[in-house]
Structure 1
Amino acid sequence: MTYDYDRLLRSLKGRGFLPQLLRTGAEAREAALTIIGGRSVGFGGSATVQQLGLYEALSARGNEVFWHWKEPPQKRIETERRAMQAEAFLTSSNAVLMDGRLVNIDGTGNRVAALLFGPPLAVVVLGRNKIVDGTVEDALARIRRECCPGNARRLGLDTPCARTGRCADCRTRARMCNAVTVHEYPTRVVEAFHVLLVDEPLGL
């Protein structure tokens, strides 16, 4: 499959995002480290960010980091709240549309909340597998088909999608599709919203 990156970059810029196109995950990691600099960093749950080793890289060089995945269960909510008060927020999105909109589904809400009303600097890293040439509904279908079942299994959640690999629009406490956001444009709270597009598949 070929991707019209020029069109996507134009769409993102037109919506007020700060996009870059990187060839590899290694390039994206270096770009994220450069953008973040010495700031404190909150993390949203992200297989992409984990795959790139950004938590380890930032911790090793002395950045103050907040990621609930690295904490015991009793400290996770506190860490999620501290992540929202950091100087930068680092995560991925579930999908990006060719018109430049970012689409996310969240279970706890910390990731989308931070992108909407969190740190003044946001950095979102996206592999090419997250690109959807279609509508918001197409993006949501992709997320429910490819992201949520895989994430539910990875997190050990007791949901129908974890067992069958298919969304059942369940009504369980463990459900991870609790909030849907569509970023049309960065909110006024987020002063610089970087989108790092990577010409490799990353995450789910």
Structure 2
Amino acid sequence: MDDKIILAEESLKRNGFQVKIFNNSEEAKKSLLESITTDESVAFGGSMTLSQLEIYDDFKNRGNEIYWHWKGEDRKKELAEAYKSKVYITSTNALTLDGKLVNMDGVANRVSSMFYGHERVYIIVGKNKISKDYDDARERIKNIAAPKNAKRLNINTPCKFTGKCNDCDSPDRICNVEVIIHRNPTGANINIYLIDEDLGY
């Protein structure tokens, strides 16, 4: 097990989060499916980590009511219904060794759902997203996650072409909202799954 996963786990627990660590994504998938019952509604936040886990079809095939704007035919409807779900699953852009979650979003549906409005939240994190501190987290978001997402979405931002943040004024800008979750918010039930694999951007 990577040492930084152990350090992050300790810090996250001190900050009030529920934390589990896994050797691989299959173990994490098994735990998710065991922790969420078939009668619970589940929404997914935009995440390459979840796409790589291929967890959406597992919930769909066993009969859960599920919402993901990446998959549904009506994107606006999927986003609206996602807010009403009992369970929310997503990833984070970066996680610091002192137990903070750092995120940038274009629309803010993902980041707002990470801490408000759902009975339980599961945040799935590969070891590649564990950052030394806030500055390191910002650096990975600006120069790794954002450019890769801009290319994936084929949008017209400078980072799509340069591979690094230019703090642009593009109408397609995807770094509009920054959220730092320092501790588990009052009344929230945030479960963080740390996986000893590289996952997502």
Please give the range of the TM-score, normalised by the shorter of the 2 chains: over 0.9
How far off its partner does 1:158 sit? 1.2
How far off its partner does 1:2 sit? 4.7
Q: Which residue of 1 aligns with 2:55?
A: 54
- SS of residue matched to 2:70: helix
Number of residue-to-residue matches in the alignment: 200
User: What is the RMSD computed on CA atoms of the aligned residues?
Assistant: 1.4
How far off its partner does 1:141 sit? 0.9
Q: Which residue of 1 aligns with 2:190?
A: 193
Check whether the contact 2:101–2:181 (CA below 8 A) recurs between aligned residues.
yes
Q: Which residue of 2 aligns with 1:144?
A: 142
Check whether the contact 1:149–1:161 (CA below 8 A) recurs between aligned residues.
yes
1:165 aligns with 2:134: no
Check whether the contact 1:41–1:90 (CA below 8 A) recurs between aligned residues.
yes
Amino acid at match of 1:198: I
Q: Which residue of 2 aligns with 1:13?
A: 13
Change (3 A) 1:50 1:113: same
How far off its partner does 1:163 sit? 1.8
Amino acid at match of 1:186: N
- SS of residue matched to 1:116: coil
1:26 aligns with 2:38: no
Amino acid at match of 1:107: G
Q: Which residue of 1 aligns with 2:179?
A: 181
CA distance in 2, matches of 1:62, 1:101: 34
TM-score, length of structure 1 as denominator length: 0.93
TM-score, length of structure 2 as denominator length: 0.95
How far off its partner does 1:41 sit? 0.6
Check whether the contact 2:105–2:177 (CA below 8 A) recurs between aligned residues.
yes
Q: Name structure 1 gaps, 5 residues minimum.
A: none
Q: Name structure 2 gaps, 5 residues minimum.
A: none
CA distance in 2, matches of 1:91, 1:161: 24
CA deviations over 1:27-58 (Å, ceiling 9, x no partner): 11111222222211111000000100011111
